[in-house]
Amino acid sequence: MLTVFSEKHALRNAKTELYGGELVPPFECPVRAEYVLAHLKKVELGKVIVADEFGLDPITRIHDPAFLDFLEQCWRDWQAEGYRGEAIPTVWPARGMQQRIPNHIGGRLGYYAMAGETAISNGTWEAARASVNVALTAQAVIKNGASEAFALCRPPGHHAAGDMFGGYCFINNAAVSAQAFIDQGASRVAILDVDFHHGNGTQAIFYNRSDVMFLSLHGDPKDAFPHFLGYEDETGSGAGEGFNFNYPMSPGTNYKTWESALDDACKKIANYSPDALVISLGVDTFEHDPISFFKLTSDDFKRYGATIGALKLPTLFIMEGGYAVDEIGLNTVNVLQGYEGL
């Protein structure tokens, strides 16, 4: 399987994350991608190529240009205020408040943020742009005839909505790639999100559409981030009614339970008969992931890769979560090898 990668991911190297009432080193850090890349090379899964440049046009098919301008300017504007730390939102337009975009960078951070854990720092915009170029390069490989490809994206993207960042995500790589398939002639695309956390940004982007089906297996939002989206009764709206499927699961979920949800999702995908399948591949469902509560073992990742492969669809794997434990490389590659029947 071909892998697309960019060394520019390392430009996203924030030093602080708000977690448990403390500022801690971020769980989403450069070594994550290096673990995966090292294991890809160890097993010789396939060629690794660098990303092409696609410009902003395919990104603005999904994201508000004003939001992208904010991401590009945020760090400079934050520094211009004389702040010494990284840019972290501290105020939000909550219930009963105005939804106007403030001039001050502190207000703009809160307007465009979904949560307060994700700092913006030097290099964040450049890394996010590189990440979506990785996804679009892999998408083009499939559009040009390959049956599968792996986009080793970092930072991840599935929490980013059309005008909102958070959950370590800035540009929604999966959504931009799905839209690229549609713009290039696909009638239907399915996005299967197997990350531990609900892909709230992806759901929000396609919630009113029937040409992109979204299915997410994740920790129950009653117990897990992002808490305010991902419930089973969220099934789409308007033209999108019946094309959004959530599978929230409880703390301690084992593979047998998780696999049952996957099997149901794959049946829905097969019935939908998409022209392409995008996998938001988070491996934070692993039993030893530091910020998740599912109990999948390393062997389980190979098993579910085979289940996805049985759909026999052109498939784009896009890296999402899975945090800096040694097994992130093994578990990611296990999914890809399982998909290929290795």
Q: Per the omega criterion (within 30 degrees of 0), is the bond before 226 cis?
A: yes
Pick the catalytic residue from 159, 197, 198, 218: 159
Q: Nearest 5 degrees, angle CA 155-CA 261-CA 141?
A: 45
Q: Give CA–CA dist 113/132, Å, rounded.
A: 19
> CB-based burial of residue 85 (10 Å sphere; 0-12 exposed, 13-18 middle, 19+ buried)?
exposed
Q: What are phi and psi of 148, to 5 degrees?
A: -160, 160
* Calculated CA dihedral for residues 210, 215, 219, 221, nearest 10 degrees: 10
Q: Respond yes or no: is residue 159 known to be catalytic.
A: yes
Which of 246, 315, 291 is CA-nearest to residue 19? 291
Selection from 280, 305, 275, 64 nearest residue 187 by Cα: 275
Tokens of 95: 């219930």
Annotated active-site positions, please?
A: 159
